[in-house]
Amino acid sequence: MLNVKNLSKSFGKKEVLRKVSFSLKPGERLHIIGKNGSGKSTIFKIITGILKQNSGTVELGEQDTIGALIENPGFLEYESGIENLKFLANLNNNYNEEKVKQLMEEFFLDPNDPQAVKKYSVGMRQKLGIIQAIMENQNIILLDEPTRGIDKESIQVFVDILTKLKNQNRSVIIASHDDIPGLAYDQELKLQDGVLISE
């Protein structure tokens, strides 16, 4: 369960978020719609602790773990895709090689490809970012413009994976400036002028 209450955030004199509130129950899927630069990524960065809010609270359950893809994901540029995922999962001593390989193959990424991530396309990097956000069974997943640069076939794979996550009672927030074909939501909120409003 995630409860966000009255989040406000300013950068200098620019108010980016103003009393933003929402809650997310287990298995729910929430869409936050907003133009580029509207503050969607800022909400995610506050939830994950990367940024500190000026006021307001973020409440998580004791057993909740967060997986996140925020803006341009950072990787070890000279390592392969699977080495990157292995490194990230091992930070929590939580690497499941079989599961990681399966997710890579679902997204048409070859686990045995020695190519450095530095040479990956935008879409390939996004796929790696999605995988790292879900590969450790995180139950609250934040995805920022997840389908950016991804081909239609892989978008369908993404939609299928989100269906599995919902069936596993894992919650997902997607922040994007447009709709993702084939994806339905339990809640849709629009971020405009720093305020969240129901769609």
Express each pLDDT in 102-114 by its tens digit.
999 999 999 999 9
pTM: 0.92
φ, ψ for residue 24, nearest 5 deg: -135, 120
Express each pLDDT in 70-91 by its tens digit.
987 789 999 999 999 999 998 8
Residue 100, pLDDT score: 94
Residue 166, pLDDT score: 94
CATH class of 2-172+194-198: alpha beta
The overall average pLDDT reported for the chain is: 92
Residue 59, pLDDT score: 94
Residue 39, pLDDT score: 87
Distance in angstroms (rounded) separating the CA atoms of residues 119 and 116? 6
Q: Two tokens at 175?
A: 């922040």
Distance in angstroms (rounded) separating the CA atoms of residues 8 and 174? 20
- Where do the domains of the chain lie? 2-172+194-198
Alpha carbon of residue 183 to chain centroid: 15
Residue 196, pLDDT score: 85
Express each pLDDT in 143-194 by its tens digit.
999 998 999 999 999 999 999 999 999 999 999 988 888 889 999 999 988 8
Express each pLDDT in 16-54 by its tens digit.
999 999 999 999 999 999 887 788 999 999 999 999 999
Residue 180, pLDDT score: 86
Q: Please check the confidence at residue 10 and state whether its pLDDT lies above 80.
A: yes
Distance in angstroms (rounded) separating the CA atoms of residues 149 and 155? 10
Residue 1, pLDDT score: 83
